[in-house]
Amino acid sequence: MIQLNNIFKWYTIGGTRSYVLKDVNLTIEKGDFVSIMGPSGSGKSSLLHIIGLLDEPNEGQYTFMEEEVLSLKAKKRNQLFQTHMGFVFQSYHLIDELTVYENIETPLIYKNYASAERKAIVADMLDKFGIVGKKDLFPAQLSGGQQQIVGIARALAGKPTLILADEPTGNLNSQQGEEIMTLFKKLNEEGVTIIQVTHSEKNATYGNRIINLLDGQIK
């Protein structure tokens, strides 16, 4: 499903290359539940963003579902993302001008779901995550944990085949965190591929593989 070969990512500062990722080679099969771990600054989020088509490496090859994505035009890449991926951001990335309901609905509009179907899916997500009473609020009116829940609901609404989650429980209390990880485990058992970045060894145990990054390299 995912094949990364010789991935390098760097920033040039004062004429010197500062490497974020160095010669990363990684294969992820359909149905995997992979946890990417490592200290802060090890390149975990950068790797997740490249896999999620939100960033590009400076060098290397990336094949997703047999498409060589780095040679695709931006529109085609965006279609791949919208069709197959759900991304849970560490910093939520909710749209400030949209209500909770509208934020969750957004990926369904991109996927051309009919209005009645969108309503049914959003209602199901609001109920599943216990946020029916928040549906008309804006992100600024929510706590960090509530925004995280909305971000997760939005990522799952379009029934993605690949979920990418950057510290998905980082802003949740322990009970909420366990509920989210249990939900991810259930989705994985139903065939959804999941890649999470986590500092939590407990969260990593929900997956079937752990990848350790250090200084931009897989150890």
The domain made up of 31-56+72-218 has a fold known as: Rossmann fold (3.40.50)
| pLDDT on residue 177 | 93
Name 10's bridge partners.
Answer: 19
Question: What does the CA dihedral 214, 29, 3, 215 come to, rounded to 10 degrees?
Answer: 0
| pLDDT on residue 90 | 86
Across all residues in the chain, what is the average pLDDT?
95
| pLDDT on residue 48 | 97
pLDDT tens for 51-109 read 999 999 999 999 999 999 999 999 999 999 999 999 999 888 999 999 999 999 999 99
| pLDDT on residue 92 | 85
Under 8 Å between Cβ of 63 and 69: yes
The label of the residue with tokens 């920033």 reads 11
199: left (phi over 0), alpha (psi -120 to 50) or beta: alpha
Q: How far is residue 54 CA from its own chain's centroid?
A: 10
